[in-house]
């Protein structure tokens, strides 16, 4: 992606912390992973496997009010700047498209952190993977996920996989502004009081997540139209989308596939809906809930 010298978003918060000695050790509650799984939207299809068990770990936080500057490597700073440019493109995309629909786009925040972060949805560690918190309209991303995507999930090497990741989370922000997230929340509450089975809810969750993939494709289309994509970028996004498909992750982590527990869609579905968004370039085909997926 052509990103150097381009506009960086001003909605990026640097919450990276040095893991310096002298940091304050905080033992987190054992049920934390579950809380986070319920209130945030994750990128991957198997949050249970990804959520760090903070109950058995200690997170390092810097002491009290002291500001310790994060010493980023050159590569980390490049990724930081890259993410800031991607967010600027996301803002431009949705400001343009939603103004056509007379919808005021409230720009999301992007909080880049390292290790552990206090989000509006609770304390999270990077084991949860990238997520969006509707309560504070922020995308949370540990930049080390770039390596995780390639080394652990098997995505193709290249920068545009991360653009897909950020655009997917920003898709959850659009869903929140458009009221789709609220509808999913109501369905989730029906599981809690027994009116809806978990399996039935999972099927809604898949459609919800595929919609975020569609919205990521819309952003990629916007970037392509402005000449920002390099050859191979689209393939990198598709490879990233496929790498976080439920079937791929389940095969990798448990050796077999259980479609009833899918909550993000298969690799093929995620690629397909990303490309649908890319080919369409607007919201005209974004309804993933009333069509075969």
| Residues near Zn ion, by CB under 5 A | 41, 209, 212
Select 84 or 181, whichever has its Cβ closest to Zn ion.
Answer: 181
Select 212 or 234, whichever has its Cβ closest to Zn ion.
Answer: 212
Closest to 128 measured CA to CA, from 253, 38, 257, 255: 38
Tell the smallest beta-carbon distance from residue 41 to Zn ion (Å). 4
Place of tokens 């431009």: 92
Strand locations in the chain, DSSP E? Answer: 12-15, 24-27, 41-42, 58-61, 109-113, 116-119, 122-125, 131-133, 138-142
Are the beta carbons of 122 and 33 closer than 8 angstroms? no
Select 45 or 115, whichever has its Cβ closest to Zn ion.
Answer: 45
Tell the smallest beta-carbon distance from residue 6 to Zn ion (Å). 26
Q: How far apart are CA 216 and CA 89, in angstroms?
A: 11
Select 3 or 145, whichever has its Cβ closest to Zn ion.
Answer: 145
Tell the smallest beta-carbon distance from residue 36 to Zn ion (Å). 13
Query: What angle, 0 to 180 degrees and rounded to 10, lies between the N-to-C axes of helices 267-280 and 198-225?
Result: 40
Place of tokens 């800031």: 84
User: What distances in angstroms separate CA 155 from CA 152, 211, 255, 285, one per listed residue?
Assistant: 8, 21, 18, 27
Which residue number is nearest to Zn ion in terms of Cβ? 41
Select 173 or 221, whichever has its Cβ closest to Zn ion.
Answer: 173
Q: How far apart are CA 67 and CA 46, in angstroms?
A: 35
Select 176 or 228, whichever has its Cβ closest to Zn ion.
Answer: 176
């Amino acid at each position: 992606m052509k990103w150097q010298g381009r506009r960086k978003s001003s909605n990026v918060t640097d919450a990276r912390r040095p893991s310096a000695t002298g940091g304050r050790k905080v033992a987190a509650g054992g049920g934390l992973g579950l809380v986070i799984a319920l209130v945030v939207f994750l990128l991957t299809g198997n949050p249970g496997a990804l959520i760090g068990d903070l109950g058995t770990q200690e997170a390092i936080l810097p002491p009290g009010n002291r500001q310790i500057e994060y010493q980023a490597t050159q590569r980390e700073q490049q990724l930081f700047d890259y993410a800031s440019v991607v967010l600027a493109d996301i803002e431009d995309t949705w400001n343009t498209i939603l103004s056509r629909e007379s919808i005021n786009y409230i720009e999301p925040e992007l909080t880049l952190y390292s290790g552990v972060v206090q989000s509006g949805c609770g304390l999270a560690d990077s084991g949860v993977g990238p997520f969006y918190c509707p309560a504070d309209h922020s995308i949370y991303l540990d930049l080390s996920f770039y390596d995780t995507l390639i080394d652990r999930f098997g995505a193709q090497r290249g920068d545009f996989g991360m653009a897909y990741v950020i655009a997917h989370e920003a898709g959850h922000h659009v869903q929140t502004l458009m009221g789709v997230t609220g509808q999913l929340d109501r369905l989730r509450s029906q599981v809690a009081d027994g009116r809806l089975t978990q399996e039935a809810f999972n099927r809604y969750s898949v459609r919800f997540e595929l919609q975020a993939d569609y919205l990521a494709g819309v952003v990629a289309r916007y970037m392509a139209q402005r000449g920002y994509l390099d050859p191979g970028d689209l393939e990198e996004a598709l490879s990233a989308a496929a790498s976080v498909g439920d079937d791929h992750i389940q095969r990798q982590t448990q050796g077999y596939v259980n479609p009833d527990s899918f909550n993000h869609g298969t690799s093929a579905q995620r690629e397909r809906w990303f490309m649908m968004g890319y080919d369409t370039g607007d919201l005209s085909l974004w309804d993933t809930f009333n069509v075969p997926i």
